Amino acid sequence: MLAELAPANFAPSADDLLRFAPETILTVAGTLLMILDPLFAKKTPKLFGNLSILALLAAVAGTAGAYTVQGSAFSNLLVVDGFATFFRFLVLAIGILTVLASYRYLDLEKAETGEYHALILFAIVGQCLMVAANDLIMIFIGLEISSIATYILAGYLRDDKRNNEAALKYFLLGSFATAFLLYGVALIYGVTATTKLDEIRTVLNTPGNVPAFTMVSIAAALMFVGLAFKVSGAPFQVWTPDVYQGAPAPVAAFLATGPKAAAFAIFLRIFLTAFQQIASEWEPLIWISALLSMTIGNFAALTQDNLKRMLAYSSVAHAGYVLVALAARSEIGTAAAMFYLAAYALMNIGAFVVVIHLAGKGERHLRVSDLAGLGRRQPITAAMLTIFLLSLIGVPLTGGFFGKFYIFRAALESNLIWLTVLGLLNSAVAAYYYLRLLVVMYMHEPGDATNNLEPLTPGLRAALILPAIGTIILGVLPGFVLNFAQRSTIFGAR
Amino acid sequence: MNLLDLLIAIPGIGFLLTLFIPRKQEQAIRMLTLGVSLLTFVLSLGLATGYRTGQPGQQFVSDTIWIANPEIHWHVGIDGLSLWLIILSTFLTPIAILVSWRYIQDRSKEFFAFLLLLEFGLVGVFSAWDLFLFYVFWEVVLVPMYFLIGIWGHDRRIYAAVKFFLYTMAGSVLMLAAIIFLYNRAGTFDYAAILSGIEGGKIMLSHGEETLLFLAFFIAFAIKVPLFPLHTWLPDAHVEAPTAGSLMLASVMLKMGTYGLVRFCLPMFPTAARENARWIVVLAIIGIVYGALVAMVQPNMKKLVAYSSVSHLGFVVLGIFSFTQMGLDGAVYQMLNHGISTGALFILVGFMYERRHSLEIADYGGVSTAAPWLATIFLITTLASIGLPMLNNFVGEFLVLQGTAQAHFSWTVFAALGVILSACYMLWMYQRVFFGELTEKVKHHMPDFSAREWACMIPLVIMMVWMGIYTQTFLPAVTEANVKILNQTGTNAPLRVSLPAAGGHGHAR
């Protein structure tokens, strides 16, 4: 099976380098931050946030540049296509919002800013690499770069007990899940003699040449376990509430969106390109996992009193919706998943930003009842949270609605009628716990937390208003993003 | 941009404008929202004067692509069915604002803004001609009403608001699934195209599929109507809502459900509608009698009016599922009547609550001595509500009973029971509240109408009389739309119906 090695030319071309531009920019910037850290940390703590926003914006430009020269790079290890570009933009946007949401938090907690931002940038490097990878080893490397940075971030306030618990839990379970993924990669390599996704696809697609079918299925199942962990799909979601609750709030916002979006990107890429041929084997897995995630997430969220835990369970439920799109195994399903992840990132970060703002120093105010009277004390903050919550419920004219709509449309088109009905009923259940927040916010009298709430700082304000605008735009004029997603689905590609 | 677009846009723009006025400027906010809603109402009269009967298809059509993929159109238009429901919405919104003028002091900016958002959604719901657009407006209406009940309501407002939201949401997600299913079959959300596809056999639905789709739509609408036994959210919502909320909820929002039944359930799924009519009619009749009986024993005026709504709306559903032209005409007319007379009742009860701070019948007595004008107007409204000839409800109830009698005489007997019961509970309440001994408390807290209150009530009373005497203003357009819908519903109707030659009321042949 081994193809003969052609005399390879390992010198990367100029195009190759351009395709790798976002990662290069962020790596350089991250390293620079580490060097500058001892020099400026005491004097100008805001500097690092500003620099990382600049770096992320430069990486956005780099991503746009890379998009002009689509194609594979570095001996086909990376592939810059519309799909990769979509997710690169998404994780970079998530990065920018996270940095904006972190200024005040780091200030309050008197945390080191240099390393924090460097770690965020490195995590994003890993995620950019993941979404553009065409090779299981590259995927693994990207995943590890991202994961290691986030393991540290989850325990960033090292004197805080909960931070330590979150980091340890995340690290142990995360490594365990990565091992599954790696096991799957090894099996696949053993059977197909390649780790490149397009080549695996070719091998599996060759008629009469499905080698060791059982082995391939087992490999797919193992990789499913690893990835389901990363996207917190049930039944591998157990770590999610504990880690989100324990991690610093801005990090939890990041964990719930960035690594998740990137993990879904490779989930889609692996299962819809490499494993498309054996789709009938893995579809039931996804089906069950989608239903479990939605149901467990929503029902568990009903009883939560801690805002971070509630958002954690809600993120499990939302992973379920995206898995529904994956179970549809179609082009519009892929586009729907992409659209949903974008809408989800905006509304979820937005909701987390309100939590960051409300929680205050030492994250004291995290109970649902702490929101009481927010509508009276800070009408703008409350109005923004209302937009995010309505979007999470899936009320029309918000991004969340169109996301759900596209997903369930794709599911119905693939004849997943029961999954659709159960999913939609689930979203009615979900309305209850989001409404509870609205009730407390607008219909209860202000309490301690809201009476002593400081005004929004510019960073937090930007981190609220930008996603709110994005949520509304996705809800009123979704065409632009959806078309981009639909043009760049990888379904059945190559 | 035609008149109909404007009617949807103006409240929407008014809503956004209101948000940008500083909250200290309470008077400016009230004036602005009142101005916007009055402007909308005046313009909406242009629909009535510009509407031409005898033309096929919808009028005031505006159709542009909103979202290219999947193709979703901003497709709005009206026919005789939506015409008067739109005008009902624009007519009642300024009244709702006036009613709340002094009662709402807390966070008035949001309150009045939400009323405009509600109007935006209501006009949109009744004019959408694209299933997706319809769903969007359907859900948009939910949000302001949720807040109106939850923030400005009475003691158990939170429970009522959440219950209201969840009930409606649970129903509408099923409808969304059905809409998407239809889209996947038809390749379009355009209602006219789907309808002609189903009629022409281009969209083939198996018997089971048709039944399931019908039920998905039906449950969403039945919750909204509300049809027994899905009505339990309604007494809570009505009792807890502020007056303007109860008014808009009872007068217009309930009609979204019955409108949906007529507009979508009958023409799209004629076979399923016929097959399921039997148990639906039974539920409607149970609703009529049950609502009336429960209303009779209510000690709370608002709850009494709320249960009377369950009873009245049972008539509407009965008329719709009689599949006769008279029944359907009566049902649509009854939607408008109920909007006017029950709306007026909620307003009057609200006025009394503002004076006496109680909704309990037992806390009143002898009000007619203290406030004779209030008592007079209340009496007119009561008589309208129980269907006295020359007042509006009589026409609607008569047509419904007549139509039902053509279909199944036994149904009429039970339904007529509801008419009698409604006279009992309404008059009994009137007697206890307005006659009897004048207590000290009532005497000192019961001034007669103010100018603002007159301004709310006079238009409503005029409409009660007008709709009771001169039905020709309203019925021809309604009849025309209904005939079309009945013909789409199939030829095996109990009686074939045809379009009357000139104006006038159609006769079953």
Instruction: Identify the three-state secondary structure at position B383.
Output: helix
pTM here?
A: 0.88
Question: Quick one: pLDDT band at residue A139, thresholds 50, 70, 90?
Answer: very high
Alpha carbon of B78: minimum distance to chain A alpha carbons (Å): 23
**Contacts of residue A428 in chain B, CB cutoff 8 Å?**
166, 169-170, 173
Of B368 and A268, the structure prediction assigns the larger pLDDT to A268
Cα distances (Å, whole numbers) of residue B353 to A281, B94, B154, B347, B451: 66, 20, 11, 10, 18
Cβ contact (<8 Å) for B151 and A443? yes
For residue A284, pLDDT beyond 70? yes
Chain B: residue whose CA lies nearest to A402: B136
CB-closest option in B69, B147, B177 to A424: B177
Residue A314: the pLDDT is 94
Are A120 and A98 in contact, with CB atoms under 8 Å apart? yes
**Contacts of residue B135 in chain A, CB cutoff 8 Å?**
396
Residue to mutate among A376, A395, A420, A489, with most B CBs inside 10 A, is A395
CB-closest option in A379, A396, A432 to B139: A396
* β-bridge mates for residue A427, sequence order: none
Alpha carbon of A479: minimum distance to chain B alpha carbons (Å): 6
What is the DSSP secondary structure assignment for residue A234, as one 8-state letter? T
Q: How far apart are CA B337 and CA B343, in angstroms?
A: 9
For residue A1, pLDDT beyond 60? no
What are the pLDDT digits (tens) for A345-363? 999 999 999 999 998 888 8
Instruction: Identify the three-state secondary structure at position B2.
Output: coil
For residue A419, pLDDT beyond 80? yes
**Contacts of residue A432 in chain B, CB cutoff 8 Å?**
162, 166
Residue A5: the pLDDT is 53
Element (H, E) at B445: helix B440-445
Among residues B234, B211, B216, the alpha carbon closest in space to that of B170 is found at: B216
**Contacts of residue A483 in chain B, CB cutoff 8 Å?**
68-69
Cβ contact (<8 Å) for B184 and A412? yes
Are B342 and B386 in contact, with CB atoms under 8 Å apart? no
Instruction: Identify the three-state secondary structure at position B300.
Output: strand
The parts of chain B modelled with pLDDT lower than 50 are: 491-509
For residue A436, pLDDT beyond 50? yes
**Contacts of residue A395 in chain B, CB cutoff 8 Å?**
139-140, 142-143
Residue B171: the pLDDT is 86
Tokens 């100008």 label which residue?
A: A44
For residue A493, pLDDT beyond 70? no
Q: How far apart are CA B202 and CA B199, in angstroms?
A: 8
Residue to mutate among A302, A321, A405, with most B CBs inside 10 A, is A405
The count of CB pairs under 8 A between chains A and B is 80
Residue B501: the pLDDT is 38
Cβ contact (<8 Å) for A409 and B184? yes
Alpha carbon of B170: minimum distance to chain A alpha carbons (Å): 5
Preceding omega of B229 cis (within 30 degrees of 0):
yes
Chain A: residue whose CA lies nearest to B161: A439
Cβ contact (<8 Å) for B170 and A425? yes
Of B490 and A72, the structure prediction assigns the larger pLDDT to A72
Mean pLDDT, chain B, whole residue set: 86
Residue A7: the pLDDT is 54
Cβ neighbours of residue A206 under 8 Å, at least 6 residues apart? Answer: none
Of A470 and A69, the structure prediction assigns the larger pLDDT to A470
Question: Residue A1, Cβ neighbours under 10 Å: how many?
Answer: 9
Alpha carbon of B391: minimum distance to chain A alpha carbons (Å): 40
For residue A249, pLDDT beyond 80? yes
Cβ contact (<8 Å) for A405 and B183? no
What is the percent of chain A with per-residue pLDDT over 90, rounded to a whole number?
Answer: 49
Cβ contact (<8 Å) for A428 and B143? no
Alpha carbon of B498: minimum distance to chain A alpha carbons (Å): 40
User: So what's the ipTM on this one?
Assistant: 0.83
Mean pLDDT, chain A, whole residue set: 88
Tokens for A332, please give them: 């519009």
